[in-house]
Amino acid sequence: MLVSGAGTNLQALLDACADPAYGAEVVAVGADRDGIEGLARAERAGIPTFVHRVSDFATREEWDAAMAQACADHDPDLVVSAGFMKLAGPAFLGRFGGRYLNTHPALLPAFPGMHGAADALAYGVKVAGATLFVVDPGVDTGPIVAQAAVPVEDDDTVETLHERIKVAERTMLVATVGRLAREGFAVEGRRVRIGS
Ligand code: GAR
């Protein structure tokens, strides 16, 4: 699992994984920065962590290759980004393409990028939400695995809307990752099918 911040999605998965019937385990947590609550959550749960900061590498490509190697060292079946605020590059996608998922706080293809919830609120949509997708080389453009919708209230701020989205996002992420682990999945063009 890859994080850059609070790690509440990570925590939801860690809590779900405590039940063996859930069918998945978090084997490691990686980050692009130190001192974040996401890493502290992993450490409290006894999960191995690694940090590679872009600024510690001469090039973005070298950082990307180091992230790919660090993930590969833990031999995951699936890599999940939740609030990981970096784009994976060719080395990472070469290794994990098709099994690297990201969760985004908007109903894609609307409002890709760094500020999904804020952009949705500014646009004035009445339904917002979160999207779990298979990462491809674009920005939030990959095949969609699952989505969860929430209403936008008239008095919402970015913070209240994003928090409502995150509640639905965590439930969607936990339910979907569990199904992917237990039932498998296939990506056929833009369509993602869970189970056989
Ligand atoms: C989540 O809402 C996630 O969708 C978003 O950051 C939040 C992380 O929360 N990701 C992006 O905006 C990526 N573009 P968390 O750290 O509490 O899990």
**Residue of minimum CA distance from atom 8 in ligand 1:** 83
Q: Has residue 19 got a pLDDT over 90?
A: yes
> Residue 186, Cα to own-chain centre: how many angstroms?
18
* pLDDT the model gives residue 36: 98
CB 144, CB 191: distance < 8 Å = no
Average pLDDT over residues 46-71: 98
Ligand 1 atom at shortest distance from the alpha carbon of 117: 12
Average pLDDT over residues 43-59: 98
**Domains, the chain, with CATH or none:** 1-96 (3.40.50.170), 102-196 (3.40.50.170)
Tell me, in angstroms, the distance from the centre of ligand 1 to residue 158's CA: 13
Q: Has residue 88 got a pLDDT over 90?
A: yes
With a Cβ cut-off of 6 Å, ligand 1 is lined by: 3, 5-9, 38, 82-83, 103-105, 114, 116, 130, 166, 169
7, burial (CB in 10 Å: exposed 0-12, middle 13-18, buried 19+):
buried
Catalytic residues: 104
Three-class HEC string of the chain: CEECCCCHHHHHHHHHHCCHHHCCCCCCEEECCCCCHHHHHHHHCCCCEEECCHHHCCCHHHHHHHHHHHHHCCCCCCEEEECCCCCCCHHHHHHHCCCEEEEECCCCCCCCCCCHHHHHHHHCCCEEEEEEEECCCCCCCCCEEEEEEEECCCCCCHHHHHHHHHHHHHHHHHHHHHHHHHHCEEEECCEEEECC
Q: Label residue 87 by pLDDT band (50, 70, 90).
A: very high
Residues linked to residue 29 through DSSP beta bridges, in sequence order: 49
Average pLDDT over residues 106-111: 98
Residue-averaged pLDDT of the chain: 98
Q: Label residue 150 by pLDDT band (50, 70, 90).
A: very high
Tell me, in angstroms, the distance from the centre of ligand 1 to residue 31's CA: 13
* pLDDT the model gives residue 196: 79
Average pLDDT over residues 19-46: 98
Ligand 1 atom at shortest distance from the alpha carbon of 105: 4
* pLDDT the model gives residue 127: 98
Average pLDDT over residues 164-186: 98
Average pLDDT over residues 145-170: 98
